[in-house]
Amino acid sequence: MAKRTVDTRKMKKRIIKMLKKSQSNFSKATSKTIGAAIEKALTAGRSPVKGQRRFVEYSDSYKKQIQENDGVIRGSDGKLNTGKRVRPVNLFVSGKARASLKVKRTAKGVNVKYKSKIMGFHDKGAGNNPRRAILPGDDEVFNRDISKMLKEIALKSIANANQKR
């Protein structure tokens, strides 16, 4: 008969250490990639939020303004900008609002926010403007593409934390 006693206290310490390391790896990798993934979805006119899909079309009056001015529109920076198209609805005129994306690692994880008020109006919907979800709210999650990317990062983080150094 073969008999062994497994010291679970030692295992517990190793597992906790590994989990802390994997969390750190996950936060580091996520902070480097999530901004680009969100921007990729916005550029394509899709919401990075699960269940939201394509953004609601621009209003008829705004589409008419874009078409009448051959895509020359005043942006949130107050300057005239060229190249605005009716589709996709990518929330881009001057680039200032979308460039306000900030991704920051914290002790609890990764904070993602747009500093621009314009992006806040789009995210929540304001006045006659429909909501164009830019970041997940309290009971929402990222779309399939971003969730898949985060899952892959998590699995790599765990695998890397488990390797002896």
pLDDT, one tens digit per residue, over 89-102 is: 888 887 888 889 99
Sign of CA dihedral 78, 81, 86, 87: negative
pLDDT of residue 163: 75
> CA-CA distance, 87 to 42, in Å (whole number)?
12
In terms of Cβ atoms closer than 10 Å to its own Cβ (0-12, 13-18, 19+), residue 159 is exposed
Q: For a pLDDT cut of 70, what percent of the chain falls above it?
A: 99
Q: Rounded mean pLDDT of the chain?
A: 87
pLDDT of residue 80: 83
Whether the predicted model's global pTM rises above the 0.85 cut: no
Minimal CA–CA distance to 141: which of 129, 130, 133? 133
Q: Which comes out higher in pLDDT, residue 17 or 156? A: 156
